[in-house]
Structures are given as structure tokens and as C-alpha cells.
Amino acid sequence: MKFANGKTAKVQHWRNFILGEDAKLFFTKCQSLSKSKILQSEYPVTPNGRKKTLRKSAGFGDKDFEHAYNGMIQKSRPWPPWLLPIRKRLERMFSQKFEFALINEYSAKDAAIGPHADDEKTIVSRSIIVSISLGATRTLQLTDKDFGKVLRSITLHSGSLYSMELDTQDCLKHAILPGEQEEGPRYSITFRHIIPIHKRKLLQTEQRRSKKNKDLSGAGPGNPGRRK
């Protein structure tokens, strides 16, 4: 999808990425994360304060990686061994590192996620985000980021994979719609390429330092700064 500003959104979908027994195994593994309460509701910042989500999630990843979004930090738990081969397969397929995975559980039909873009500072800019679906079928809806117009809907069956590539996070919002009936849980495993914590902290320190220098020099809106 090409946009007037010259940016390109690319969303691909593979209907049968994980087959039969493997899909069942991954579903069972996600279910046991839920039973052991590793998957937890989130408390994102909303215009009306923090609100508990019906969706439950947990982050897994390499040391020195965490994901910050919606005013929260999702720390990395160590990778469960069953996720490692699939991460490797995805890294080969997309020629990109995936240091972090978020597992989401949509258990009741009303558990959903509203339109949003994964454009947080922790994610490497223009990197690929991929998501595997397991369990109940749901719809991924893609809308224009500026106008909210629905541009594409994709039915996500168990075992399917979708990717969001290039400028997708700049151009589109994505949402997982509520289910039409109670069908049992859907799990998604979304893999991301994240900036390591130590590098992010260095960047923040540099940004603070350059802001302080600017403030000291008096440069700013309406003030051209000190003359030499």
C-alpha cells in the first residue's frame, strides 16, 4: 500500500504457517502460561486513567531487552525452550533479529485490542513485526492512521502468521476485533526487534544533554539563541 507521503505499508499473511500437531502444542503451551498466571492483564494509560485489560499478556526475550508501550514496561522473562526454534525460523525467514516476543491471550469474545500502531521508541524503526495466531479465529483490521478508514481485514486462523513491514507503523493502525461468539481463547505470539536497554539509556542521556545545551544557549521557539 503506497501513501501520498511516499511511505509504503506492507502486511503479509500466511494461512498455514504452523501445522496440525505443532499448532496444538503451541496452543497448549500458551494455555499453561495462562493457567500458571504468567499471562496477566495490562493497565495501560488511557484518557480516563489506567484501565485493566481483558487481554492478558507476558513478555519473553533476551537479557537487556524490554518493551515499553502504553505507559507500561513489559519486562523479558527468559525464553521458554519451545519458542526458540520458531524464533530461529522467523529470523531466517525475515533476515532480522527478534529479541522479544509478547504472548497475548484473548480468552473471552470481548477481549480485543483497539486500533493502535506499534510505533514505540523501544522498537527498531521500520523493523518487521510478526504475529502467530493460535486457537479461536479473530479478525485483524487495518485502518488508515490519519483518517481511520478501514483498508483491509484479515481473518486470522489458528496456525497463521502475519507480518507488518516497512512503514506500516507510520501509515496504519491495527486492531484485533472482538469475537462474534464465545469460541475459547485465541493466543498470539508477536515477535519484535527491540533496542537494547543499555543503548536506549545512552540515547536518552544524549537527548537530555543536547536539550540542556540548547536551553543553556537560549535557543528555542521565538528565540534564535545567543549571538556570537
Q: Which residues bind ligand AKG (CB under 6 A)?
A: 102, 104, 113, 118, 131, 174, 176, 188, 190
Residue with Cβ nearer ligand AKG (70 or 96): 70
Q: Coil, strand or helix: which one is 151?
A: strand
Residue with Cβ nearer ligand AKG (118 or 165): 118
Min dist CB 123 to ligand AKG, Å, is 10
- In 85-98, which positions are buried (b, 16+ CB within 10 angstroms) versus exposed (e)? ebbeebeeebebbb
Residue with Cβ nearer ligand AKG (15 or 215): 15
Cell matching residue 35: 493457567
Min dist CB 182 to ligand AKG, Å, is 18
Separation of alpha carbons 162 and 196, rounded Å: 24
Residue with Cβ nearer ligand AKG (104 or 224): 104
Q: Coil, strand or helix: which one is 111?
A: coil
Min dist CB 14 to ligand AKG, Å, is 13
Q: What are phi and psi of 35, to 5 degrees?
A: -60, -35
Min dist CB 181 to ligand AKG, Å, is 18
∠ CA(29), CA(160), CA(151), 5° rounding?
130
Min dist CB 156 to ligand AKG, Å, is 7
Counting Cα atoms < 13 Å in the Cβ hemisphere of 207 gives 6
User: Amino acid letter at 196?
Assistant: P
Residue nearest to ligand AKG (CB): 188
Residue with Cβ nearer ligand AKG (174 or 193): 174
**How many C-beta atoms lie closer than 10 Å to residue 8's C-beta?**
13
Where helices occur in 67-196 by DSSP H, the ranges are 84-94, 168-171
Min dist CB 102 to ligand AKG, Å, is 5
Residue with Cβ nearer ligand AKG (90 or 176): 176
